[in-house]
Amino acid sequence: MVLRTGLLSGLIGAVAFASAALPSAALGEPVEIRITHSITGGSQKEVLDGIIADFEKANPEITVKQVVFDDDQYSDTGLITQLKSSTPPDIYFQWAGFPMQRDAKEGFAKDITAEMNEGGWKDTFLPSVWSPSMGTLYDGKAYLVPMTLDVTNVIWFNKKIFAEDGVKAPATWDEFMAVIKTLAEKGQTPIVVGNQELWPLGNWASHIASRVVEPAHYAAAFELKEPFNQPGFEKALTLIDDLRKAGAFNKDIAGLGADPAMSTFFQEAAAMHPIGSWLVPSANEMAEKDFDYGAFNTPLIDPANPTKDSVIGTATGFAVHAKSAHPKEAIAFLKFFTQLDNQVKWAEAGSFSPVKGAMEQAKLDDKTKQMADMLSSAGSLVPPPDTTYPVAVAESYYQAAAYVAGGEKSPKDALVWLDEHVKAMK
Amino acid sequence: MPSGNQRGTAAQKNGLGGGRPGEGAGITNLLFVIPALTLYAIFVLLPLASSLYYALTDWDGIGSPRWVGLANFSRAFSDDIHLASYVHVTLYIIGTLIFEVSFGLIMAVLLNSDRPGFALLRGLFFSPVVLSMSAAGVLWTFVFDYRTGLINGMLKGMGLSDWAQPWLSQPATALLCVMLVSGWKFAGFYMILFFAALRRIPRSLYEAATLEGAGPIRQFFSITLPLLKQNVLICGLLAVTGGFAGFDLFFTMTNGQPYNSTEVPVTWIVKMGFDSDQLGYGIALTVILTVVVSLVSLLYLRFAERSHAVEY
Amino acid sequence: MRSSIDTPRAPREWLQFGIGAAVVAGMCFPAIWMSYSALKTNREIFRKPYALPETWQWENLSKAWQDGGLGGLYLNSIIVTAAAVTLCAFAATLAAYAFARLEFPGRRALYRVFLIGLLLPPPAVAIALFTQLRDMGLLNTLWALIFANAAWTLSITLYLMTGYFRTVKREMEEAARLEGANTFQVFWSVVLPMVKPAVITTAILNTINIWNELMFALLFISDDASRTLPAGIVRFSGFHSTNYALVFAALTLTTVPIMTFYFVSQRHVIRGLTAARAE
């Protein structure tokens, strides 16, 4: 690089790099592989710890060290710092789609097509996992070992409050609006969203938009080939505006954090909470034992839309770092992790295992089972925009949705603002 | 142009003591400055220089930078949130000047006494300064919480539940709340600085004034304030440069929300640079910030220099 | 508003004390509330926010200590702060002496270069410094924070020290020179003891600032083992954002020691600032 400070830093850098690049010790000598991710707690962490312990027992010369961050830190600085450091992790958690593509292009992720094809590893996964919309392959090559499917957004609801106020889970948007009106009249907070970071509402708003906008136009807008200011998106934002006018949202939607919002839902201070499938492990850890809740997908809006009953979700997985000093050991661990018996445990911890047969064999609680059924019976799977398209564009859309939900801008004005704002990103 | 004779005075104005010939060979004296210079050059000047380079590129932090010339800068000037962040930070600085510096000054005068008990009060007043920003941010986020926070709880308890607001979720109140917390946290710092300065004012001045019949308020404005002028100006400068760099509190309390109404230059820079992987643009924004802070500080210093502090 | 200790208190003084005490009480309430809330259960905090704990949950403190890894955080903060403050004090005092007393080429220009640092907000170079530290292989090490913090407190320290030098009389230095001492000896044996109050004051100010420094700590360190206290607390309260009792416990544990440090050193600060008058 042009501006290196010269001999001193060059020396430091060389020494650091050399020690990182040292080939793994001869067979039998202890090897440490580092895996970084953002699973901070709950039942998933327990199972992961258990699988790691089992692996270490079966392979005494390998130790697995976990480097963990919370979600936002991981995405912001945690992952990047490690990827670019001179001692990168051997395995790291990554989202399929745009992020994995970038890693492949920039040479962070190792091409594991060969390992995948070896011994039919690839076929142990559900075929739908490798479909194009999932974004798990780039240029036909594999860079990611799928580890869980996330449903990015469903609407969780408090069964007790629904029963008390005489409402049922809606199947259409009109029914949904009726439910909200009833709840609001009875003095409930119909929906709690913690939108300080913009993605909680943003994910849902994207799902709503995908149900209303034709798929081709949806993609074109996010790829900045078409303006956002078009009838489909305007309809989508108007629906959100309708929600606001009906008093659906909590007053502190703009400043509340995502986790505090979830906690509010667990404390039964609101009737519904739109968030992803990771609520289940959190509920197991944080909610009262008798907390009775369920979920329904975003209701039907436009029967003519090809993705009218889509589920919004994404695949995540583990990638092996291209510069890892111990790729063999890393692959060995990942193969162990994706073995059926371990995946059954993984499924029982509240994840959606992408491995064939795991979800069927696992003893799932009814919530997870419901999510799994939703995924397998969905007519289509739509990924959230911040994993498929450049993050800056997705976040701008999330910002526009936030403006509308808070009454700061009208749907039309928000779209005008949005187009202005993304002009610079082309 | 200052002549040789006047150089001493000019140097003194710059804060230099004025060396005298014969106090040692020039070059070996440089040795005294080498440690500071090395540290400063590597960790301050060098990144500053590379900032100027990266600001002219489009870079996502991972791949190679792509030269775009001044495109980042023209984008910055049409970036409405970026421009708004300067408005917010200016409001914040004015707010902090009012809260922290004046509050600190008033308390320094109020608690200026050798009587027992006052030292304890001063110590307690200072204590929030010692809290870390993140601690203060977390604490006050809870205090301002809409459903379960202390403030709304108190209002409801007093029968004023109509006044209970989502403090940190409304553009109208969010920035004020951050200013309030900042004031709470730093007033003690300014109080101690002023207090130390007050201590240096000779008692005799006050006693003479009392003999002449001047009351405490009069004494404050005619004796205390003018003699503290230099300290007031320095404190002001610290508040201004510190304000522009404001990050910690904003990050932990609101992170720019609601609707970017508490967005300040640094939170926006971090968002652009790290959250959206647009490092070239983020760095261009830091260059703009540096220029703005430098200009403001230089103007401030020029103004301060004209109103000389009184020597006593 | 000054009165000597001997005369009996005037009513005005009681008023002064009263108002002062009321203001201070209001100021301190949030922190006090946080400390005793740390010893409650979460449910108590939500249901009865102001009451004292029903049962004092001291175990919250030990849980917070362990879960938050506070021991490690403390150690890292201590190392970074001590090293950075020392480094800065060392470099700044030497340089301040040179700027205040010595002649050398480029003296004024160099001083101005250092003053630029006063105008620079540290975030101005955060991203570039991040990249640079990465290229230097220092990212994720405590050295990154030590050097960065020392460098960025240099300007203010140098400015204050040089200003302080200006108020120190030269006679003793001149006397030493007449006795044949060289520059360094003059600095070490004569000047340094005289500027001790300023060194101490700036060291204390720097300690507080560096101890609480958040931005560099968040950006340059991602390894749990090397994290400092402020960044660790932010992460901790992110993980456990709704377990208020635990978060408050952690915050209390991180506040008490620095409070003690402050109360102990407070007298030093005052002494340091008032010593200039006592000649």
Q: Is some CB atom of chain C closer than 8 A to the CB atom of B200?
A: yes
C63 at A interface, C-beta within 8 A:
no
Q: Which domain holds residue C159?
A: 68-236
Confidence of residue C42 (pLDDT cuts 50, 70, 90): confident
Q: pLDDT band for position A9 (50/70/90)?
A: very low
Mean pLDDT, rounded, for A23-32: 61
Q: What is the pLDDT of residue C269?
A: 58
Q: What mean pLDDT is predicted for residues B239-265? A: 86
- C78: in domain: yes
Q: What is the pLDDT of residue C6?
A: 53
- Residue C137 touches chain A, beta carbons under 8 Å: yes
* A259:C241 CB<8 A: yes
What is the model's pTM? 0.76
Question: Does the model's ipTM exceed the 0.90 cut?
Answer: no
Rounded-to-integer distance, Cα A207 and Cα A384, Å: 7
Q: Is the pLDDT of residue C277 over 50?
A: no
Across A211-215, B137-141, C166-170, least confident range:
C166-170
Q: Which residues of C touch B156 (CB under 8 A)?
A: none
Q: Which residues of A touch B165 (CB under 8 A)?
A: 251
Tell which of B45, B53, B83, B147 to mutate to test the A interface (max A CBs under 10 Å).
B147
* Number of residues that this document lists for chain A: 426
What pLDDT, on the 0 to 100 scale, is given for residue B165? Answer: 85
Between residues A335 and C242, which one has the greater pLDDT? A335
Judging contacts by C-beta atoms under 8 Å, the chain C residues touching residue A82 are 222
In a domain, C13, yes or no: no
CB contact under 8 Å between C102 and B32, yes or no, is yes
The fraction of chain B above a pLDDT of 70, given in percent, is 88
The alpha carbon of residue B145 is apart from the nearest alpha carbon of chain A, in Å, by: 8
Query: Picking from A64-78, A291-305, A381-395, which range would have the lowest pLDDT averaged per residue?
Result: A64-78
**Percent above pLDDT 90 for chain C:** 13
Q: In the numeric block, which tokens belong to residue B201? A: 């004012």
List of chains touching B (3+ CB pairs within 8 A): A, C
Q: How far apart are CA A147 and CA B162, in angstroms?
A: 49
Share of chain A above pLDDT 70, in %: 92
Tell me how close the Cα of A50 comes to any Cα of chain B, in angstroms: 33
Q: Which residues pair with A37 in a beta bridge?
A: A68
Our CA-based measurement puts residue C117 at a distance from the nearest CA of chain A, in whole angstroms, of 20
Tokens of B137: 């941010």
For C124, the closest of B113, B127, B290 (CB atoms) is B290
> DSSP of A80-110, one letter per residue?
HHHHHSSS--SEEEEETTHHHHHHHHHT-B-
Residues of C in contact with A286 (CB under 8 A): 242
* C136–A contact, CB cutoff 8 A: yes
At A191 the pLDDT is 96
The percent of residues in chain B predicted with pLDDT above 90, rounded, is 11
- Out of C218, C219, C238, name the one closest to residue A70 (CB): C238
Find chain C residues with C-beta within 8 A of B61's C-beta.
Answer: 131
Q: What is the pLDDT of residue B308?
A: 58
In the 3-class helix/strand/coil scheme, how is chain C assigned residue by residue? CCCCCCCCCCHHHHHHHHHHHHHHHHHHHHHHHHHHHCCCCHHHHHHCCCCCCCCCCCHHHHHHHHHCCHHHHHHHHHHHHHHHHHHHHHHHHHHHHHHHHCCCCCHHHHHHHHHHHHHCCHHHHHHHHHHHHHHCCCCCCHHHHHHHHHHHHHHHHHHHHHHHHHCCCCHHHHHHHHCCCCHHHHHHHHHHHHCHHHHHHHHHHHHHHHHCCCHHHHHHCCCHHHCCHHHHHHHHHHHCCCCHHHHHHHHHHHHHHHHHHHHHHHHHHHHHHHHCCCC
Q: How many residues does chain C have?
A: 279
Task: Please say if the pLDDT value at position A37 is more than 70.
Answer: yes
The residue in chain A having the minimum alpha-carbon distance to the alpha carbon of residue B45 is A5
Domain ranges of chain B: 18-70, 73-306
- CATH number attached to the domain at B73-306: 1.10.3720.10
Do A395 and B276 lie within an 8 Å CB cutoff? Answer: yes
Give the residues across from A98 on adjacent strands: none
Interface of B with A in 272-301 (CB under 8 A): 274-278
Amino acid identity of residue A179, one-letter, is: V
Q: Check CB contact under 8 Å for A254 and B80.
A: no
Closest in B46, B75, B169 to A255, CB measured: B169
B303-310 LR contacts (CB < 8 Å, sep 24+): B304/B233, B304/B237, B305/B13, B307/B229, B307/B233, B309/B229, B309/B230, B309/B233, B310/B226, B310/B227, B310/B229, B310/B230
Q: CB–CB of B274 and A76 under 8 A?
A: yes
A81 has a chain B CB within 8 A of its CB: no
- Nearest residue on chain A to C43, alpha-carbon basis: A267
Q: Bigger pLDDT: B309 or A121?
A: A121
Q: Is the pLDDT of residue B7 over 70?
A: no
For residue C80, pLDDT over 90 is answered with: yes
Asked whether the bond before B258 is cis by omega within 30 degrees of 0, the reply is yes
Contact C168, C194 (CB under 8 A): yes
Taking an 8 Å cut-off on Cβ atoms, the answer to whether B115 and C13 are in contact is yes
Inform me whether the pLDDT recorded for B19 exceeds 50. Answer: no
Nearest to A16 among C46, C137, C235 (CB): C137
* Measured CA distances, B142 to A80, A253, A260, B95, B150 (Å): 31, 15, 10, 22, 7
Residue at C274 is within a domain? no
Contact of B242 with chain A, judged by CB distance below 8 Å, is answered with no
CB C153 within 8 A of CB C114: no
Which member of C137, C140, C241 has the closest CB to residue A12? C137
What residue of C is the nearest CA neighbor of A78? Answer: C222
C261: closest chain B residue by CA: B130
Give the total number of structural domains in chain C.
Answer: 1
Residue type, A203: N
Per-residue pLDDT averaged across C31-58, rounded?
79
Are C104 and B27 within 8 A, CB to CB? Answer: yes
- Tell whether C132 is within 8 A of chain A (Cβ): yes
Share of chain C above pLDDT 70, in %: 88
Check if A80 contacts B (Cβ < 8 Å).
yes
- In this prediction, residue A4 carries a pLDDT of 38
Across A311-325, B138-152, B195-209, least confident range: B195-209
Q: Which of residues 72-131 of C touch A (CB under 8 A)?
A: none
All residues of chain A having their beta carbon less than 8 Å from the beta carbon of residue C222 are 67, 69, 73, 77-78, 81-82
The residue ranking higher by pLDDT, A75 or A55, is: A55
Q: Would residue C177 count as lying in a domain?
A: yes
pLDDT value of residue A106: 83
Please answer yes or no on whether C99 and B196 come within 8 Å at the CB atom: no
Domain-located, residue C8:
no
Cβ–Cβ of C212/B36 closer than 8 Å?
A: no
> C143 or B69: whose pLDDT is higher?
C143
The Cα C54–Cα C60 span in angstroms is 14
pLDDT band of residue B87 (cuts 50, 70, 90) is very high
For residue B184, give the nearest of C13, C27, C131 by CB distance.
Answer: C27
Q: Residues of C with CB below 8 A from A16's CB?
A: 137
A200 with A258: CB under 8 angstroms? yes
Q: What CATH number has the domain bearing residue C176?
A: 1.10.3720.10
d(C-alpha B110, C-alpha B195), whole Å: 10
Chain B residues touching residue C105 (CB < 8 angstroms) = 26-27, 30
